[in-house]
Amino acid sequence: MIEYINELYLTDKTKNKIDKIKNDILNEKLISLVCIIILSECESDVFDIIPLNNLKFRKNLNDKLLVLGIAENKKAAIKLCAKMIEEYMMKKSDKSMREYFKDKL
Whole-angstrom distance, CA of residue 69 vs CA of residue 77: 8
Q: What is the pLDDT along the chain (105 residues), one digit of tens a residue?
A: 788 998 999 999 999 999 988 888 888 776 678 999 998 888 888 899 999 888 766 655 556 788 999 999 999 999 999 999 999 999 877 888 888 888 887
Closest CA to 75 of 27, 19, 34, 22: 34
pTM for the full predicted model: 0.86
